[in-house]
Structure 1
Amino acid sequence: MHARTALRGTVPPSQWLTADSSYRSGVPVSAPCVSLTVRECKQGEADFAALTMKPGEVRLTAGAVGTAPLFLVSAEDVLYASWDLAELRPHLRVDRLVPRVVARTLTRQHRYTADTLFEGVYRLTERATAVFTSSGLRVQYPEPAEHVLAPRPLRPDVDPLDVFDSLLSEAVREAPTAIGCVGIELSGGSDSANVALSVSSAGYNAVHSFGLLMGGSVGAQQRERRRALVDHCGFRDTAAPAMRLPPFVPGGVRALGTPHDPVGAFYQETFDVIRKQAAARACEVMFTGSGGDETNAHHSRTSARLPATDPVPWLGNEAARALADVNEHLAPIPVLPVPTLMAFGLHNPGFLRVGIWPVSPLVHPRIVRFMEQLPHEYKRGKALFRERLRRAGLPESVASPAEPENFLGVMEAGMRSFGLPTLAGMVRDSLLVDLGYVDPKALAQAREDAEHAPVVPDLLCDVLALEVGLRSLM
């Protein structure tokens, strides 16, 4: 088991995670009889990984929350596991990719599955079990999780806002800390604002808030909302201008070629600043507002339809053929919303790398269950979330912003200033082209068109990020 996740809950949080990425160990198939449960929350909760070893067999089982999903690979009778794909670099072959995963990545048809980009490398999805024997490594999926199929009427004497407030506050208080120094990502939106209210009343010794500020009029409104929240909650605030840290910016992980997950978060460079700031302030836990959109969705967890995707003109023959397989080998319906679990895999390794445990209380299993049962009128437009902010005395500009912030401007700035020049090199020399996943002529034409277009097509970011990420692992 990877050293950073060992023995959670039995040692102080300051010792749970280390910044040293050079130490990792494998588990041999001939390991003696050992049973170890790595709890990521408190005893009995759903966020854990369980390792069981006996002669001839190693088993790893994940809980339902999936804060730090593990990547697994076997080599020479040893099982290697880490939440950081880059740490498995000696066992990754960039010339042996899984076509359906490449096709998913290039067309934004991402799926929750044990598949990864690399042959023989698997992701341990929620509640799944990896079994490693002399015959090799296989992943056993669980049964689909049960969900509420339709909202239920409320009892006349129940105020759903009081119930939500209690559940969210309880989820926040469960976060594992030793010295009570925590951080919160505070965007200025209603999701992180609701988490902020519960964090501010949880009794932590120190709470630091962090935010990425957008530009223009949207950014000005965002700053006002954040200021109102920080004043209301009494946080120690730090903010950074997101426009200075767009994708592919010089000095960032991609520009430097630092080994990283090729399908990691688009805005790694931007969020890396928050992570470093939080680590410098000794934050043990980082609360996020992740999952608010998903828990307020009107559809059932079992009948959500995947959105239609636009055609990608630069797909090569290998990727085009693999499109027929993008829905193969999918994990069953999980406890948490699928987009949330996928986002954890993108964003959380960055926090773990600097010794911070990320917590997203809006998708605590009890809150997911509560929101599924809630009548639609409380979820439509995040009505319950916004009413809680109003009752707390926050202004309407915070409860229901006229222009919520987004990262589209950051993406455009990064692609225009740094992405397109980098793409010019890819047109001339590309792993994805050599492997047949990208058509070089079509990509060259798309790049040329983008130079003169009012907005750079953001799908160009996907192909460039994948290329740069793969090269970082060579």
Structure 2
Amino acid sequence: MRAPVEIIDGSVVLGGSRVTPFAHRLLRALVIDTDTTIAIACLERFRGDPHGIDHVRPDNDQALADRLNSIRSHLLDWSILTMDRVRGAISYETSLIHSAPVYLRNHAGRLTIDWDCTRLLQGLGAPIDWPATMAQIAGLMSYTPRTMVAGLYRSIAGATLTAHGDTIDTHMPPPMGMPGAQSLAEQVSAETLLFDTVKALLAARDIDPQRTAIELSGGMDSALIALAAADVLGPGVLSYGAEFSGAMGAAQRDRRTLLCRHGEFEDIVLPAGRFLPFGPRSARRDRFGVWPQDESYPEIFEAFFDLLARAGVDTLTSGFGGDELYAVYSDETTDTDDRALEDHPYLTARGRALARKGGAPGSQGVIADTSWLSAAGRSQRLLRQGIWPIYPYINPILARFVASLPWEYRRDRMLLRRTLTAQLGDPVFEQDYVKESFREVAVRGIAENREYLLAMLARSPVLDADLVDRDRVLAALGGDIEALPSEEFGLLFLVLTTCCFFDE
């Protein structure tokens, strides 16, 4: 760490070590170099910000601290990799808007950091972190740096991971208390505030309409993002989405048609039935190919992301995190999920005990763990195609605003429904809304790839007899998949995706 810093071909070179910031036109890098510290920051650019890598040498410790604090106050995404030349410690710190995590692994006295965990794991083995893995199968996985692979850590929003010697320590962000329901000032439109805020979050970035795509499922969350993007970027933006069959698919097609007509999108549609889960070309069949926390249906998104990259797209905006945006407080009447871990059909008593241990509380912020986990799960597949994701809903400022609204706005996501009606002039999202579902495609994927799945489970190291009831898993997989209750089907799907991740 005493070696001088050089910048060569977009990489920061320090003796035998090399750090290469992810290169993208929406990002910029800053190298801060003193006799005691090297800090490499990567920041999302505001429109008009400089490009490339800058290298500065502050005159003193106070100037260094001022530089770092300036980065920490940046209102878009940022991260800082810091190397302490004196102590030899290396830390990675992130903003509260964390679109794409990195993974850290200390192996044989050498720290490696990469946004693609497969490069860290190939050839080194992947010991299972049993509490985290059982928590994943139980549906209790929380948003912490811990992963299902022992010794592999993931950066998370607002946290600092520090490697020193053979250890990696975590400093979690302080809990962000929920604001509670508050009154809305007279003559203030919550619907207008929501729409304008989403537009502002998009417009702040240097987005190129010709190189941006909009994820358009036909659901409410992506609909609002798409309409805001159309207002900011104008007509002709590329959109994409899956097409399903049956009554649900017909309703979805009608909503997508309405949105495409309103936003004047150039739309790409792929039939969902052609990209079944667990199929022969599925990335789930590759070891470490798909994180189990990823979306349920990565097969079709692999095809979409490849198409987008071939079309010159390098930026994607999505409605990820919208489902979890509408907080519910304990004194508000709503349906509750009474599913108990004790009723888990596939975990033994010891497996359930480990799941409780592995499902420890996460960052405890205003943004739900499931939003962060889903975004983290898909980030590698996007970055491999050179695509940077923008998730306007995964933003603590927006989340706090929505969580502070009166219950009448948050109940059944009425704020979102009314905003869409106001923008479209059509109440389709308020009346007779048929929610899209992946279940039919998932059932077909399991049924048509049952032979592969049974063979995969037979060799899976995850199905430890002390932790998982292998016979019940195999019986469920060999039986009538379609007849399984929704809850049990979802838990079986978690078992399958977790076993796929570790399959050799």
* Bin for the TM-score computed over the shorter chain: 0.7 to 0.9
Deviations 1:110-144 (A, max 9, x none): 21222111211112221111111225321111211
Which residue of structure 2 aligns with residue 160 of structure 1? 190
Using the TM superposition, give the Cα deviation of residue 76 of structure 1 relative to its aligned residue in structure 2, in angstroms.
3.0
Aligned residue identity for 1:12: R
Using the TM superposition, give the Cα deviation of residue 293 of structure 1 relative to its aligned residue in structure 2, in angstroms.
1.9
Does the 8 Å CA contact 1:52/1:58 hold for their aligned counterparts? Answer: yes
Equivalent residue for 2:299, pick from 264, 269, 289: 269
Does the 8 Å CA contact 1:61/1:130 hold for their aligned counterparts? Answer: yes
Equivalent residue for 2:280, pick from 250, 256, 259: 250
Which residues of 2 match residues 339-418 of structure 1 at below 5 A? Answer: 339-418=370-449
Using the TM superposition, give the Cα deviation of residue 210 of structure 1 relative to its aligned residue in structure 2, in angstroms.
0.4
Distance 1:323 1:430 in 2: 18
Does the 8 Å CA contact 2:132/2:147 hold for their aligned counterparts? Answer: yes
Aligned residue identity for 2:43: R
Aligned residue identity for 2:226: A
Does the 8 Å CA contact 1:190/1:399 hold for their aligned counterparts? Answer: no
Aligned residue identity for 1:59: S
Matched, 1:54 2:69: no
Gaps of 5+ in 2: 1-10, 13-17, 30-34, 47-70
Matched, 1:232 2:262: yes
Equivalent residue for 1:207, pick from 237, 245, 266: 237
Give secondary structure in 2 for the equivalent of 1:342.
helix
Which residue of structure 1 aligns with residue 495 of structure 2? 463
Which residue of structure 2 aligns with residue 192 of structure 1? 222
Using the TM superposition, give the Cα deviation of residue 262 of structure 1 relative to its aligned residue in structure 2, in angstroms.
5.0
Which residue of structure 2 aligns with residue 24 of structure 1? none
Does the 8 Å CA contact 1:351/1:357 hold for their aligned counterparts? Answer: yes
Deviations 1:5-47 (A, max 9, x none): 7166xx634x989xxxxxxxxxxxxx97311211135471252
Matched, 1:286 2:316: yes
Give secondary structure in 1 for the equivalent of 2:92.
strand
Equivalent residue for 1:12, pick from 22, 25, 42: 25
Distance 1:468 1:358 in 2: 25
Aligned pairs, how many?
A: 450
Equivalent residue for 1:220, pick from 225, 232, 250: 250
Deviations 1:162-189 (A, max 9, x none): 2222211101112343575211111112
Give secondary structure in 2 for the equivalent of 1:151.
coil
Gaps of 5+ in 1: 18-30
Equivalent residue for 2:344, pick from 293, 296, 312: 312
Equivalent residue for 2:203, pick from 147, 150, 173: 173
Aligned residue identity for 2:339: A
Distance 1:91 1:293 in 2: 38
Matched, 1:115 2:146: yes
Distance 1:381 1:260 in 2: 31
CA 1:34–1:206 in 2, change beyond 3 Å: closer, same or farther? Answer: farther
Using the TM superposition, give the Cα deviation of residue 287 of structure 1 relative to its aligned residue in structure 2, in angstroms.
0.9
Distance 2:471 2:261 in 1: 54
Does the 8 Å CA contact 1:230/1:237 hold for their aligned counterparts? Answer: yes
Distance 2:188 2:273 in 1: 45
Aligned residue identity for 1:405: E
Which residues of 2 match residues 128-167 of structure 1 at below 5 A? Answer: 128-134=159-165, 136-148=167-179, 150-167=180-197
Does the 8 Å CA contact 1:171/1:364 hold for their aligned counterparts? Answer: no
Distance 2:371 2:290 in 1: 21
Deviations 1:279-317 (A, max 9, x none): 1221221111122222223337xxx99853463333357
Equivalent residue for 1:182, pick from 207, 212, 219: 212
Matched, 1:446 2:450: no
Distance 1:129 1:251 in 2: 37
Distance 1:398 1:451 in 2: 31
Aligned residue identity for 2:21: A
Does the 8 Å CA contact 2:28/2:43 hold for their aligned counterparts? Answer: no
Which residue of structure 1 aligns with residue 107 of structure 2? 75
Equivalent residue for 1:38, pick from 28, 36, 42: 42
Give secondary structure in 1 for the equivalent of 2:269.
strand
Distance 1:152 1:278 in 2: 42
**Percentage identity across paired residues of the two chains:** 24
Using the TM superposition, give the Cα deviation of residue 341 of structure 1 relative to its aligned residue in structure 2, in angstroms.
1.0
Equivalent residue for 2:367, pick from 314, 320, 336: 336
Give secondary structure in 1 for the equivalent of 2:255.
helix
Using the TM superposition, give the Cα deviation of residue 318 of structure 1 relative to its aligned residue in structure 2, in angstroms.
5.3
CA 1:217–1:73 in 2, change beyond 3 Å: closer, same or farther? Answer: same
Does the 8 Å CA contact 1:295/1:372 hold for their aligned counterparts? Answer: yes
Aligned residue identity for 2:391: S
Distance 1:77 1:48 in 2: 28
Distance 1:173 1:377 in 2: 29
Distance 1:312 1:462 in 2: 12
CA 1:71–1:430 in 2, change beyond 3 Å: closer, same or farther? Answer: same
Give secondary structure in 2 for the equivalent of 1:404.
coil
Mean CA deviation greater in 397-406 or 276-285: 397-406
Give secondary structure in 2 for the equivalent of 1:416.
helix
TM-score by length of 1: 0.85
Deviations 1:39-79 (A, max 9, x none): 13547125211111122121110111221122211123322
Using the TM superposition, give the Cα deviation of residue 434 of structure 1 relative to its aligned residue in structure 2, in angstroms.
5.2
Give secondary structure in 1 for the equivalent of 2:233.
coil
CA 1:93–1:318 in 2, change beyond 3 Å: closer, same or farther? Answer: farther
TM-score by length of 2: 0.81
Matched, 1:429 2:433: no
